[in-house]
């Protein structure tokens, strides 16, 4: 059984917040908000575009892999991929000449010792331009 947790960039300082996700329909000013609450009970508003779920997997260095992470696949072909949810499993997407393809096969996100996190699509989109 894996931990169900999320991360998101905090609105006030742009740092990552990790924990449980809560959607607040309305605050005192009538605006909705997305909160991530640390497991100690401390909550912060986060940018909803940066929210990603923990995959339950760790890369070759033992770092937790989240949706939106950019990983380098160190298999037969070294390539940068983005971690995404495919409806029933975690997969990676990679760019083939401007056309994004899902890498869905028997190896999709299973052999995590072949992946290394190099960034994420929110803070390091330039990594995908190579």
Whether 57 and 108 share a structural domain: yes
Which domain does 106 fall in, by range?
A: 52-128
Question: 121 in a domain, yes or no?
Answer: yes
Question: 1 in a domain, yes or no?
Answer: no
Q: Regarding predicted confidence, which is higher, 127 or 2? A: 127
Q: What's the whole-model pTM score? A: 0.81
CATH number, domain with residue 91: 2.30.30.290
Whether 40 and 76 share a structural domain: no
**Residue pair 1/114 in contact by the 8 Å Cβ criterion:** no
Question: 115 in a domain, yes or no?
Answer: yes
Whether 66 and 89 share a structural domain: yes
Residue of 42, 37, 46 whose CA lies nearest to 10: 46
Whether 100 and 124 share a structural domain: yes
Residue of 68, 8, 16 whose CA lies nearest to 35: 8
Percent of the chain with pLDDT over 70: 70
pLDDT of res. 104: 44
Tens digit of pLDDT for each residue in 74-94?
766 677 888 888 777 666 666
pLDDT of res. 18: 94
Alpha-carbon distance of 90 to 59, in angstroms, equals: 13
pLDDT of res. 30: 56
Task: Specify the number of domains making up the chain.
Answer: 2
Tens digit of pLDDT for each residue in 30-78?
567 888 998 777 889 999 999 999 988 888 899 999 999 998 877 666 7
What's the sign of the alpha-carbon dihedral 103, 106, 109, 112?
negative
């Amino acid at each position: 059984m894996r931990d169900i947790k999320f991360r998101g960039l905090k609105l006030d300082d742009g740092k990552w917040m990790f924990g449980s996700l809560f959607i607040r329909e309305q605050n005192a000013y009538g605006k909705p908000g997305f909160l991530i609450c640390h497991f100690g009970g401390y909550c912060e508003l986060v940018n909803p575009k940066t929210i990603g779920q923990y995959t339950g997997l760790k890369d070759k260095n033992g770092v937790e892999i989240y949706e939106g992470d950019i990983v380098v696949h160190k298999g037969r072909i070294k390539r940068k991929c983005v971690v995404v949810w495919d409806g029933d499993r975690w997969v990676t997407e990679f760019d083939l000449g401007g056309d994004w393809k899902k890498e869905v096969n028997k190896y999709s996100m299973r052999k995590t010792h072949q992946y290394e996190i190099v960034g994420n699509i929110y803070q390091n989109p330039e990594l995908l331009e190579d």
